[in-house]
Amino acid sequence: MQLYQKKRIEFVVEASCAPTILEMIEEAGAKGYTILHDVSGKGNRGVRDDAHLTDVFRNVLIVVIVAEELAHSIVSKSQPLLENYAGIVTMSDVDVVRDEHF
Amino acid sequence: MADLFQIAAGNLLSPVVLFFALGVAAAYAQSDLTIPEPISKALSLYLMLAIGFKGGVALAASGIDSMVVVALTLAIGLSLLLPVIAFSLLRVVTSLDSRNAAAIAAHYGSVSIVTFVAASSFLEHRQVQYEGFLVAMLAVMETPAIITGLLLARRGLNETASDQKSVFSPQVLRQVFLCGSVVLLVGSFMIGWTTGDSGMQIMAPLVKDPFQAVLAIFLLDMGLLVGKRLGDFGQVGKQLVLFGIYMPLIGAAIGMAAATAIGLSVGGITLVAVLAASASYIVVPAAMRLSLPQANPAIYVTLSLAVTFPFNLAFGIPLYHAIASLIGPA
């Protein structure tokens, strides 16, 4: 079966800054994204959990799959947006089945 | 004096306060007790709906007069002014930088809806009446403080262009004005006001009878949240914890003086004191996180949620009510 090489970017970011990141991703030209709400863990901002009431201590996971060139552009554009927020950004190689979707 | 002591003790031993204490203790001891989030959200929506609806019905019964306009103007004034006092105090008394001080100040001008709900339940339990438009005062006090807070943060900062843009972005405005709890509160108030007593006949089994019990369960969840935040006390520091206790007293004193001056009832004076004393932990943190990301949320949320909220709930409400009974109209 024919597979196509893409880059997969993962953002673990503070829920309150997720809309900004999503807007940037779409403007950059990605055709879509996936969001996992309420992810928890521990990092340099302490324990991040699903505290009710306020989004301030809540994280979400955003996954974007795009071509390599676009992936680099998205990652570099994300850095100024994340300056004062909790955020982990990673990029990895993936193979997709339906090339036209990404 | 004996009376005050009795009221305070009675309040501490009410189900609302005891369930809150249970939550704090359980979370602090790292029990796995949790209330599932959808249920907690439903409880909070119920409380908004009930308090809004009851306020609207009360306003329909009393009718609108010039007092309503005066009271709402007062509410906006308090919300705009209290952050200035909080900010000045923080800058003089503590060594906090101006961004964090401004972020905290905004919280203290805004209000805690749950504290208001607990206070109204405290009054209802004692058959003390209050004006229906107090709920409208609650709704309008939520946001003006954010504007003052952001203006205070801007002063003395040489900002970059991107900072300028983000301060009153559409995203912040939407979050502030279309926050779900505020929409439901104001909407239910309007529905209560429109439908009046006949509406109340339909809604009473839901909004009246279970109200205090639901509040107690919700407070258990609040206790669990507060218990989890106790670990952040180190970051907050002693000076700020003290601020979280004396600032509500200052706010309450100003609120009571103003409410007495415009001629509110004892119940009304108590609730204005509670509004001026309480600090936001839902709407304002969300707005500050977007507009003032350099300020540390672990400080401002811990202060309003884990210091000021319990203080008002356990000691503030009975204290403000006792003083209101002394200074208010007989």
Is the per-residue pLDDT at B1 higher than 70?
no
Across chain B, mean pLDDT equals 90
Distance CA A42, CA B243 (A): 29
- Residues of chain B with pLDDT > 70: what percent? 95
- Point out the residue among B221, B285, B289 whose CB comes nearest to the CB of A52: B221
Higher pLDDT among residues B4 and B281, named by residue: B281
Is the per-residue pLDDT at B168 higher than 80?
no
Contact between B297 and A17 using a beta-carbon 8 Å cutoff: no
Largest pairwise CA distance in chain B = 59
Contact between A50 and B37 using a beta-carbon 8 Å cutoff: yes
Instruction: For chain A, say whether B281 makes contact (Cβ under 8 Å).
Output: yes
Other CB atoms closer than 10 Å to residue B97's CB: what's the count? Answer: 13
> Which residues of chain B neighbour A17 with C-beta distances below 8 Å?
289-290, 293
B148 SS3 class: helix
Q: What's the confidence (pLDDT) of residue B11?
A: 85
Contact between A56 and B289 using a beta-carbon 8 Å cutoff: yes
The pLDDT tens digits for B64-99 are 889 999 999 999 999 999 999 999 999 999 989 999
The pLDDT tens digits for B183-239 are 999 999 999 999 999 999 999 999 988 999 999 999 999 999 899 888 888 888 899
Give B65→chain A minimum CA distance, Å: 36
Q: Which residues neighbour B238 within 8 Å (Cβ) at sequence distance 6 or greater?
A: none
Contact between A83 and B293 using a beta-carbon 8 Å cutoff: yes
Rounded alpha-carbon distances, angstroms, from residue B87 to B91, B176, B250, B314: 6, 21, 13, 25
Instruction: For chain A, say whether B282 makes contact (Cβ under 8 Å).
Output: yes
Contact between A52 and B40 using a beta-carbon 8 Å cutoff: yes
Distance CA A3, CA B131 (A): 69
Instruction: For chain A, say whether B179 makes contact (Cβ under 8 Å).
Output: no
Q: How do beta strands A46-48 and A41-43 pair?
A: antiparallel
> Which residues of chain B neighbour A56 with C-beta distances below 8 Å?
285-286, 289, 297, 301
Q: Could you tell me the two tokens for B165?
A: 């843009």
Instruction: For chain A, say whether B47 makes contact (Cβ under 8 Å).
Output: no
- Point out the residue among A14, A52, A55 whose CB comes nearest to the CB of B37: A52
How many residue pairs from chains A and B have C-beta atoms closer than 8 A? 45
Instruction: For chain A, say whether B293 makes contact (Cβ under 8 Å).
Output: yes
Side-chain half-sphere CA neighbours of B289 within 13 A:
29
Confidence band, pLDDT 50/70/90 cuts, at residue B161: very low
The pLDDT tens digits for B291-314 are 898 899 889 999 999 999 999 999
> Which residues of chain A neighbour B282 with C-beta distances below 8 Å?
53-54
> What is the strand order of the sheet A34-39 is part of?
A34-39, A59-66, A4-14, A87-96
Average pLDDT over residues B8-31: 92
Residue whose structure tokens are 């970011």: A13
- Residues of chain B with pLDDT > 90: what percent? 71
Contact between A55 and B289 using a beta-carbon 8 Å cutoff: yes
Distance CA B135, CA B80 (A): 18
Rounded alpha-carbon distances, angstroms, from residue B328 to B81, B152, B277, B323: 23, 34, 18, 8
Residues of chain A with pLDDT under 70: 46-47, 49-52
Residue whose structure tokens are 């989890």: B228
Q: What's the confidence (pLDDT) of residue B33?
A: 93
Closest by Cα among B266, B317, B304 to B112: B304
Q: What domains can you pick out in chain A, each with its CATH number?
A: 4-101 (3.30.70.120)
Contact between A53 and B290 using a beta-carbon 8 Å cutoff: no
Q: What's the confidence (pLDDT) of residue B270?
A: 97
State which residue of chain A sits closest to B181, comparing Cα positions: A53
Contact between A54 and B285 using a beta-carbon 8 Å cutoff: yes
- Point out the residue among B44, B222, B286 whose CB comes nearest to the CB of A56: B286
Q: What's the confidence (pLDDT) of residue B283?
A: 87
Q: What domains can you pick out in chain B, each with its CATH number?
A: 2-327 (1.20.1530.20)
| B4-18, B117-131, B184-198: the lowest-pLDDT one | B4-18
